[in-house]
Amino acid sequence: MYNQVLEQIQRSSHVVLISHINPDGDALGSSLALYLAILKLGKKVTICNSTKEIAKKFDFLPSFNKIKNTLPSRYDLLISCDCGSFDRLGIKRVEVPIINIDHHKSNTEYGTINVVDRDSPSTTMVVFSMLESFKIKMDSKIATCIYTGIVEDTDFFVNQNTDKDVFEISAKLIDYGVDSSKVAYNLLQRESLAKIRLKAILINSIELKQNAKVGIGIIRQEDLHRCGAMRSDCDNLINIIRSLVTVEIAILLIEEKNLEFKVSLRSKTADVESIATKFDGGGHHYASGFQSNILDSKELIDKILYEVKI
């Protein structure tokens, strides 16, 4: 499969890399690592993301300033990273080959070539294996992008998906020059006052259901405006709910600008992917989500709770 990817890249003259909307560290890390690697192959490469306001905490990543908001007018290969379905890329269908690189179990395999390792803790780990097979020389910039994706998708090595391979590959990446303390600082210690105020609003909104095993929070557009917060400031806030001692499943509703809700689900032991799939979403066993056009938050919460089995 990796050979097919390399052959397709070598046949192409202009490669576009793209990751899912509202990208996290794994989406950006995997696409930026590939961007830097494909440049080494002497190819013309453009890296894009449809999100206008990418979280500033990622601006330390090498070539972050190269990410464009729109696709170029002409290209002959599209590579998507860390995206389970084409619609989550936020672009229209294009008549070019698509290489789909991902690790989500719910991936719809929308690519011409699908490199989907559903057992991998992160897409960046898939990219690491791919670049090793390409025999592209690893450097500190590529390694930093990959390491960032790993620590983001394992919540700094505390999630259930953290296995021996995670630590072994992370150690290799540090040998390649990753400054792990710099990555940790940027991801964990650069919060804006707006995000801290948003945390307070979320905490005040939390409700506990089903004998306090389910925690539910909500952030509305008016909350973002009141705090002066960006949409990206909502990233990882669901972990506040999951951190409650009795909570097994955390649910966070984020009202989008079109008034639909983005629903995030996190758990300590329960399968939340099965819940997300009931609403045409997906993700992982312990971390999933979906979009909903149900505008009444109470109605939506009731429908979600009906599917919760603890």
Which residue ranges form the domains of the chain, and what is each CATH number? 2-188 (3.90.1640.10), 193-307 (3.10.310.30)
d(CA 68, CA 289) in angstroms, rounded, equals: 26
List all residues 6 or more positions away from 222 whose beta carbon is below 8 Å from its beta carbon: none
Integer distance in angstroms from the first to the last C-alpha of the chain?
39
pLDDT in tens, the chain (310 residues): 899 999 999 999 999 999 999 999 999 999 999 999 999 999 999 999 999 989 999 999 999 999 999 999 999 999 999 999 999 999 998 899 999 999 998 899 999 999 999 999 999 999 999 999 999 999 999 999 999 999 999 999 998 889 999 999 999 999 999 999 999 999 999 999 999 999 999 999 999 999 999 999 999 999 999 999 999 999 999 999 999 999 999 999 999 998 899 999 999 999 999 999 999 998 889 999 999 999 999 999 999 999 998 8
Please classify residue 72 by burial: count the beta carbons closer than 10 Å to its beta carbon, then call 0-12 exposed, 13-18 middle and 19+ buried: exposed
Query: What residues does 218 pair with on adjacent strands?
Result: 253
Rounded to whole angstroms, what are the CA distances from 14 to 39, 135, 232? 11, 21, 30
Rounded to whole angstroms, what are the CA distances from 42 to 27, 32, 37, 47, 54? 23, 16, 9, 15, 28
Residue (of 12, 11, 61) closest to 32 by Cα position: 61
Sheet of 287-292: strands edge to edge? 207-209, 214-219, 249-255, 261-267, 287-292, 282-283
